[in-house]
Amino acid sequence: MEDPLSRRALITGITGQDGSYLAEHLLAEGYEVWGLVRGQANPHVSRLRKHVGEVRITTGDLLDQGSLISAVERVRPDEVYNLGAISYVPMSWQQAELTAEVTGMGVLRMLEAIRVVSGVSTSRTPGGEQIRFYQASSSEMFGMVRETPQNEKTPFHPRSPYGVAKTYGHYITQNYRESYGMFAVSGILFNHESPRRGAEFVTRKVTLGAARIKLGLAEELRLGNLDARRDWGFAGDYARAMRLMLAQDAPEDYVIGTGKTQSVRDLVEFAFRTVGLDWEEHVVLDDKYTRPAEVDLLCADPKKAREQLGWEPEVGFESLVNMMAESDMRLLSESARPEDEPFSPDHW
């Protein structure tokens, strides 16, 4: 590969948590970074730049094939990172068709845009320097797991419209790699969080809830299944893994996670401890927050990523929760409206 100082990356979903950390990482590596956003004068862009640095913007929509072709033609990227999605699992039951179109079919549209602009045909002989494609796959594809921990060969059994859509995106990426010889990879990322995580996700709901109670802005926090276990890591660590996947000599898929699990109860305990409270005095269980089809246990086997990419997570779970809770204490001390944050939950 050529020197990264001359490389150009296009990121869909750049205004979301993962897009912001990836943009930050690529800029630090000397890339020219472009973000794909819908509409004009998107307010999240100026806020993103204040936190991440100078990124260039082009318009496009994962629902519109023509706009994606135009965006790829304009940017002429060396690498495309498809992070755009409707990524909140509970919402995928409420808007299942839209989730399928954005999170699933959006992957196909972006792959087609790259194929058309690159002049790739069924000959499987891409001309010139290939555009390298990264698809953000998800541990939610495993769903009702067949084995623990989960690796690159573990069968999928998704338990939500989101998981089903991600599974389609994963397989269509694999199909384009095998059918057209494209450099297309999927990172099967397990749960990754940060202070930039949307307030609707359980990790952020917990740290914001603990901060609100500590500051006298609320009295209780209502949650669903405290026994569900996840492999939680820091989003900034996972952004490093994305770039490493596209820096390899051959395209392959990788599971990215810590290999350790914690329960929602552990999350709650650490968050409330950080702000100096006893969680059992403030947390109320509420069945309305339980998923229609729950995923009880997800745990990564990141051996392949460790051995082939040289990737290791740097931030542990307790440090991550402390980071998030302390950030939310600062945020709510300055404003009672976390929705004013720069990182959009609607990032496709």
Query: Checking DSSP bridges between strand 229-230 and strand 262-263, what pairing results, if any?
Result: antiparallel
Is 283 within 8 Å of 245 (Cβ atoms)? no
Beta bridge partners of 184: 133
Phi-psi region of 39 (alpha: psi -120 to 50; beta: other; left: phi over 0): left
Task: Give the CA radius of gyration of the chain.
Answer: 20
Cβ contacts of residue 177 below 8 Å, gap of 6+? 183, 184, 185, 251
Is 313 within 8 Å of 231 (Cβ atoms)? no
Q: Is 154 a catalytic residue?
A: no
Amino acid identity at 142: F
- Residue 48 phi/psi, 5-degree rounding, is -60, -45
Q: Is 249 helix (H, G, I), strand (E, B) or coil?
A: coil
Q: Kindly give the residue spans of alpha helices, DSSP state H, lying in 76-124.
A: 89-94, 96-99, 106-118
Token look-up 């409270």 returns 277
Alpha carbons 244 and 250: distance in angstroms, whole number: 12
Catalytic residue among 167, 173, 207, 274: 167
The H or E element containing residue 292 is: none
Q: Residue 88 class from Cβ within 10 Å (0-12 exposed, 13-18 middle, 19+ buried)?
A: middle
Catalytic positions are: 167
